[in-house]
Amino acid sequence: MSAKRRENELPSLIIVTGLSGSGMSSATDAFEDLGYFCVDNLPVTMVSTFGRLMVPDGGKAPAIERAVLVINIRERHFLDEFSTELRKLSKRGLIPYILFFDASDEVLQRRFSETRRPHPADHSKGLAAAIKAERRAMTDVKRIADRIIDTSELTVHSLRHLIVQTFSGNPDNRPMKVNIVSFGHKFGAPRGLDLMFDVRHLPNPFFVKELKHLPGSDPAVVKFLKGEPEVTETIERVTNLLEYLLPKYQREGKSYLTIGVGCTGGKHRSVMAANSIGKQLKKLGFPVSIEHRDVQK
């Protein structure tokens, strides 16, 4: 990497720092999903050493191409050694992007009160004094930051969305992955569902002698179900709802969404409905995977 980052070029090395309780650790999940190698609480004196993994000596291929290092005042040498380590990185041609997390004193007090964690700058003078002391100590670091994110009004989800939007390189076209699981209620609902639709109200091929032993993906079963107006209407209404909801989930920074479609045994109606819904969602541009959990039972 050159010593000067080109405009609009995504940084290969990001140093996340800021005030304790401002959301630094929460941001690492979003960076990991973007493909960054993340290290939390790295000793500051190891920063330049870590740089060798990204720009090795002798022209070798880098072991790590993109990384996020989270360093804050809990690391006792941070304030004394940070500038020195940045200069060492610069000599290697690495110019880290410094992302500083901030929040209001009131919000930080509330967060520490809710978690009951001790503030790292609290030296028996109380939480409010500790927050003010850390803010003063971090003034110079904040001054050199490439970007400051105030998380006072951000939720975990909106912070994630902001990180993805800023550092994905493709903020508007990074589709959420959708997994559709068909299942039988008599075997219990799958774990981890975000949304669940019950199709037990639909006509059941189980009671048709020629269809009883065929799966919901069989053309004969599909033809039977598509011939029932309430089946096509149900699938259309569910798909319309998902067409409305999925962009909302994606806007909140969700990378994966799992949808359950259940009937009694998980062999006929839920399988056909899951396949039909998945086909429509693919047309909307979402990567869709479909799993039929109970079709063989």
Phi, psi of 220 (to 5 degrees): -65, -40
The CA R_g of the chain, rounded to the nearest whole Å, is 26
With the CA atoms of 276, 247, 179 and 28 taken in that order, what torsion angle do they form, in degrees rounded to the nearest 10? 170
- Residue labelled with tokens 């219990």: 188
pLDDT of residue 134: 92
Instruction: Write the CB contacts of 68 (distance below 8 Å, at least 6 apart in sequence).
Output: 13, 14, 15, 16, 28, 31, 36, 37, 38, 39
How many CB atoms are closer than 10 A to CB 249? 18
The per-residue pLDDT for range 38-79, each reduced to its tens digit, is 999 888 889 999 998 998 877 778 889 999 999 888 777 788
pLDDT grade, residue 207 (50/70/90)? very high
In a 10 Å sphere around its CB, with 0-12 CB exposed, 13-18 middle and 19+ buried, how is residue 55 labelled? middle
- Most confidently predicted of 23-37, 152-166, 272-286: 272-286
How many CB atoms are closer than 10 A to CB 237? 11
On average, the pLDDT of the chain sits at: 88
pLDDT grade, residue 169 (50/70/90)? low
pLDDT of residue 6: 46
pLDDT of residue 150: 93
Share of the chain above pLDDT 90, in %: 57
User: Which domains, and CATH codes, for the chain?
Assistant: 13-167 (3.40.50.300), 177-292 (no CATH)
Residue 147, SS3?
Answer: strand
Instruction: Please report the beta strands in the chain, taking only residues with DSSP state E, as ranges in sequence order.
Output: 13-18, 37-40, 67-70, 97-102, 147-150, 177-184, 195-198, 256-263, 288-292
